[in-house]
Homo-oligomer: A and B are copies of this chain.
């Protein structure tokens, strides 16, 4: 007897997509299906037919395990299970179920059979559970298995849909949220540190494609800092198959030089960030993005006090600034960075910005900052910075 092999994947996307109104739900499902296909293509996974059901896709593929793993990293997917497809004939379900148990159950296993069913059949869901359970016990007597409906170690799930049935015993958890593209685009300030990619990822999880912007502070940083940022963007784009993988690289060192020459040193970081926000706002307009996303968290750095964030916000007026990490502890951000795959890249050795003053202002006042900017031609700086900006495709 040849081994049973998973030949399908059940992809679930109930969650928040499921509770939307009919029209929105359909649009989101369509978008999710597109993103799933793009992700499989991106990872060179061969697949065949995809059956669409309410809250689920059934994907035919010989690379079921790998497919399930990759699809747990598609926004909107709540979980995925490698599965075995059979017809909905009870004998066949039982035959495959017994075979699955034979190949995967260790001795002494406490197991349960569960069944969900739509369509008309000559048997009830309860029949499936009872019959398959009995047959597994009978066929594998020597293993001393036990049925345990309350705390099973392994569950054999049977999902029957009309004339098809799917058996599976493993469910991989996804990240949920909405399919990328369900919401409009944002631009994201991406430094390459731990925080900013996590901030971008969080709004991507809610459906917003993000176009990252990297500010190159050379000569106050160097190519190690730039490389790290580009690698971080690549790690982030692993979550965005089928979307443009571009990043704006903005030369910002000249601006920093000007701030250091003409403004109070304590304000350097604030002036730097306000300029970043302004440039980002222009890029957002160009990209038709609905706002800016940043990695700031209250109090994480001296520059990130509430008072300073307020002064930063005052630099832009057309674009909202979204800060998904505003209430995160550092450790929470680190944990998430590890989970999404940006951490390892973010902690690579790179030159820290040497323009940071010894004592940065922690409670800057808007009027002082505006007074400092009066010595500069801010509008000209923004314009010249944009003219030297490059778009890289990663």
Which residues of A307-357 are within 8 A (CB) of B? Answer: 307, 309-310, 313, 317, 319-324, 326-331
Shortest Cβ distance from residue A203 to the other chain B in the assembled complex, whole angstroms: 5
A186 at the interface (CB under 8 A from B): yes
Shortest Cβ distance from residue A317 to the other chain B in the assembled complex, whole angstroms: 8
A368 at the interface (CB under 8 A from B): no
Shortest Cβ distance from residue A102 to the other chain B in the assembled complex, whole angstroms: 33
Q: If the complex has contacts A306-B291, A310-B290, A310-B291, are A329 and B298 also in contact, measured as CB distance less than 8 A?
A: no
A103 at the interface (CB under 8 A from B): no
Q: What chain B residues lie within 8 Å of A313 (beta carbons)? A: 320
Q: What chain B residues lie within 8 Å of A163 (beta carbons)? A: none
Q: What chain B residues lie within 8 Å of A187 (beta carbons)? A: none
- In the complex, the count of this chain's copies comes to 2
Instruction: Report whether B320 and A309 are in contact in the complex, using a CB–CB cutoff of 8 Å.
Output: yes
Hey, what's the 0/1 contact readout for A289-303 against B, CB within 8 Å counting as 1? 011000001111000
Cβ-neighbour of A329 out of B176, B199, B327 (below 8 A)? B176
- Among residues of B, the one whose C-beta sits closest to the C-beta of A336 is B327
Instruction: Report whether A184 and B300 are in contact in the complex, using a CB–CB cutoff of 8 Å.
Output: no
Q: What chain B residues lie within 8 Å of A176 (beta carbons)? A: 329, 331
Task: Give the distance in Å from the alpha carbon of A196 to the alpha carbon of B54 in the complex.
Answer: 31
A206 at the interface (CB under 8 A from B): yes
Task: Give the distance in Å from the alpha carbon of A289 to the alpha carbon of B124 in the complex.
Answer: 62
Hey, what's the 0/1 contact readout for A34-74 against B, CB within 8 Å counting as 1? 00000000000000000000000000000000000000000
Hey, what's the 0/1 contact readout for A176-203 against B, CB within 8 Å counting as 1? 1110001110100000000000010111
Task: Give the distance in Å from the alpha carbon of A322 to the alpha carbon of B175 in the complex.
Answer: 24
- Among residues of B, the one whose C-beta sits closest to the C-beta of A332 is B176
Cβ-neighbour of A177 out of B182, B208, B324, B329 (below 8 A)? B329
- Among residues of B, the one whose C-beta sits closest to the C-beta of A324 is B327
Instruction: Report whether B327 and A207 are in contact in the complex, using a CB–CB cutoff of 8 Å.
Output: no
A16 at the interface (CB under 8 A from B): yes
A305 at the interface (CB under 8 A from B): yes
A278 at the interface (CB under 8 A from B): no
Q: A202-B326, A291-B309 are in contact. List 10 more A-B contacts (CB 8 A).
A: A16-B329, A183-B299, A184-B306, A184-B307, A205-B329, A206-B326, A208-B298, A290-B306, A323-B326, A324-B327
Sampled A-B contacts (18; CB under 8 Å): A16-B300, A16-B329, A175-B329, A183-B305, A184-B307, A199-B327, A202-B326, A203-B327, A205-B329, A206-B297, A206-B299, A207-B298, A291-B310, A310-B320, A322-B326, A323-B323, A324-B326, A324-B327
Residues of A within 8 A of B (CB): 15-16, 175-178, 182-184, 186, 199, 201-203, 205-208, 290-291, 297-300, 305-307, 309-310, 313, 317, 319-324, 326-331
